[in-house]
Amino acid sequence: MAHLLVSWIAYSHDFIYTAGQKAASSINEIGPTVQFHQHFYAAGGYDKHVLLYSNPKQELQTEHLANLVRRQHPGRVVQAELLEVRDVISLAEVKTKIETWLLQHREHELTLYFSPGTSIMQLSWFIAHTTLGLDTHLVQTREGKFNPDGRPSLLELDVSQSAVPMTAIVREQQVANRTAALALRPARRNHAMVKASPTMSTEFLLLPGLQRVYGLAAKVAGADKVTVLVRGESGTGKEHLARTVHEKSARHHQPYLPINCAALTDSVLESRLFGYVKGAFTGAEKDTKGLFELAHGGTIFLDEIGDISPALQATLLRVVQMGEIQPLGGQPRQVDVRVIAATHADLLERCGQGRFRWDLYYRLAVAELELPTLRELPQDERGKLLDFLIHQKQASLQRKVPLELAPATREKLLAYPFPGNVRELENLVETLYVFSEPSQLILPADLPRRLHANAAGVSAATSLTLAAAMAAHVARVVAQCGGVKRQAAQLLGIDVRVVTKHLHLHKQAAATT
Ligand SMILES: Nc1ncnc2c1ncn2[C@@H]1O[C@H](COP(=O)(O)OP(=O)(O)OP(=O)(O)O)[C@@H](O)[C@H]1O
């Protein structure tokens, strides 16, 4: 057992930014991470500092920060680790990621340095600390200027004395969801409720077009052992629906652990799901539980199930049929886990093509829930969602005024088919906030180029060969992902190297037309 200090990098306070530049120009030596090492680390008896960052783009600057600390304090182990979070203000996502990480390190004594990170990250530390029952301490620092002796101090949060009942937080979230379902309202804040979370907002809009599937989800939730298959295009809200099934089920006090099957290679996925015993393969230094064991009593969400290999399909079938897992190199064990799987693919078609096992499909699809695409929803509902997201982002980005769209801009937005569904619309609204001035009227010309393409999204000059069409499609998806190829690869269901190859082809084609 080791004593680990765990913290997020403080994106704004650990680094110094030059006005007008997005990239950090240097490390802030009076920032929370450097200061912690200067004043408190030595006395804490830590074996290692795990410095978490949430975005792959922050890798370099986190490494610089870790290096500086290592240089200033030779012998200290500082490990930068990516804990990827797509939406740093989503309590659902951040909390799940943090809980999963902590459960994976449960054998250690864990000191959670609470001060750095977004308010949702802080709230998630707090919830994990008070609800997971692990050996965690929650510490924060107070700057010297607030202490009479002018020296910074370290405070451990005494949760038993806390005035914030956790049930209040959970209840508030549910009320927020219900409120959102009843009427469209600007996201509201309740400072009395959660001091640590000024950005918490209503997260979901239960549109009439979604009510049927959410009604079915509530019914399915009550049937405890039933496996569920959620189908829907990327960004339609599959993860949200899966979590709702868990939260409405009798298992809601137990873990809910999501995993994206498409993002991992076969062997990594297998060891993450089922665990391994010490010595099972090179580098397996200790027995490690898999997610199925960690989720015992609760729910596991297997996202992008359609992409797993035939070998893993066979293993998973045994797990779902017998409730039995076998860690790599270990003995079979019984687990009690509800499986919710999701896919963007047409699994029936894949079964027909021999790419997915029929028996596994029938086992998973005991209850099948299908989410509509954004373009299938009626125009007025899309309009409501747009308004909802405008208010939601206004609250989370702490803008004084909501985004103002010219009528023609709104029309264009509502006519666009949004292949990335709600996530794409959500990202677009955020981009418009980021790149516009407060009170600027957003004109059609301010919208990204892809929204101006003709209906088919293909210009007349485009080559009609299949290769060119594929390359153009890949380029469009990469653009929709803000240039992040890894994310595009995930959406497209292909390897990132293939994405690069298509982009290269597309560039060549563009240069010759
Ligand atoms: N009705 C809705 N109201 C508000 N936000 C929504 C709604 N539906 C989806 N979202 C938001 O859209 C984003 C995508 O949702 P989610 O991750 O659940 O989709 P998904 O189908 O699981 O995507 P993927 O297949 O890519 O993993 C999330 O940020 C979610 O909060």
The answer to whether the CB of 36 falls within 8 A of the CB of 111 is no
Same domain for 229 and 145: no
Residue 388 lies in a domain: no
How many distinct structural domains can be found in the chain?
A: 3
Judged by average pLDDT, the poorest of 183-197, 363-377, 438-452 is 183-197
Residue with more model confidence, 438 or 251: 251
Q: Whose CA is nearest to atom 29 of ligand 1?
A: 423
Give residue 343 CA to ligand 1 midpoint distance, Å.
Answer: 13
237 lines ligand 1 (CB under 6 A): yes
Same domain for 468 and 322: no
Q: Whose CA is nearest to atom 6 of ligand 1?
A: 204
395 lines ligand 1 (CB under 6 A): no
Between CA 468 and CA 471, with CA 469 as vertex, the angle to 5 degrees is 65
| Test site for ligand 1: of 303, 422, 427, 428, most ligand atoms within 8 A of the Cβ | 422
Of 326, 346, 374, the residue at which a domain comes to its end is: 374
Strands (DSSP E) along 90-129, which ranges? 109-113
Q: CA nearest 128: which of 95, 86, 104?
A: 95
Residue 326 lies in a domain: yes
Residue 61 lies in a domain: yes
Q: Which residues are CB-neighbours of 187 under 8 A, at least 6 positions away?
A: 201, 202, 391, 392, 394, 395, 396
pLDDT band (50, 70, 90) for residue 241: very high
Mean pLDDT along residues 455-463: 44
For residue 50, give the CATH number of its domain: 3.40.50.10770
Nearest atom, ligand 1, residue 241 CA: 18
Judged by average pLDDT, the poorest of 19-28, 47-56, 59-68, 295-304 is 19-28
Residue 189 lies in a domain: no
What does the CA dihedral 479, 483, 484, 485 come to, rounded to 10 degrees? 70
Of 347, 374, 401, the residue at which a domain comes to its end is: 374
Question: What are the helix (H) ranges across 223-309?
Answer: 238-248, 266-274, 291-294
Q: Whose CA is nearest to atom 30 of ligand 1?
A: 237
Share above pLDDT 90 across residues of the chain, in percent, rounded to a whole number? 46
Residue 175 lies in a domain: no
Give residue 415 CA to ligand 1 midpoint distance, Å.
Answer: 20
**Residue 199 above 80 pLDDT?**
no
Same domain for 240 and 144: no
Tally of CB atoms within 10 A around 92: 19
Place of tokens 């015992």: 296
Locate 327 and state its tokens: 């860690």
Q: What is the pLDDT of residues 7-18, one digit of tens each?
A: 999 988 898 877
Same domain for 262 and 148: no
Same domain for 294 and 228: yes
Nearest atom, ligand 1, residue 260 CA: 27
Residue 40 lies in a domain: yes
Q: Cα(380)–Cα(397) distance, rounded to whole angstroms?
A: 25
In terms of residue numbers, what domain contains 145?
A: 3-162
| Test site for ligand 1: of 84, 184, 201, 239, most ligand atoms within 8 A of the Cβ | 239
Nearest atom, ligand 1, residue 92 CA: 31
Of 349, 374, 399, the residue at which a domain comes to its end is: 374
Number of residues written out for the chain: 513
228 lines ligand 1 (CB under 6 A): no
Residue 483 lies in a domain: yes
pLDDT band (50, 70, 90) for residue 321: very high
Q: What is the pLDDT of residues 202-228, one digit of tens each?
A: 578 899 899 999 999 999 999 988 999
370 lines ligand 1 (CB under 6 A): no
For residue 301, give the CATH number of its domain: 3.40.50.300
| Test site for ligand 1: of 93, 238, 240, most ligand atoms within 8 A of the Cβ | 240
Nearest atom, ligand 1, residue 426 CA: 12
Same domain for 227 and 153: no
| Per-residue model confidence (pLDDT) at position 159 | 59
Pairing of strands 24-27, 15-17: antiparallel
Mean pLDDT along residues 70-91: 90
Residue with more model confidence, 164 or 268: 268
The answer to whether the CB of 172 falls within 8 A of the CB of 190 is yes
Same domain for 147 and 215: no
Residue 512 lies in a domain: yes
The answer to whether the CB of 396 falls within 8 A of the CB of 89 is yes
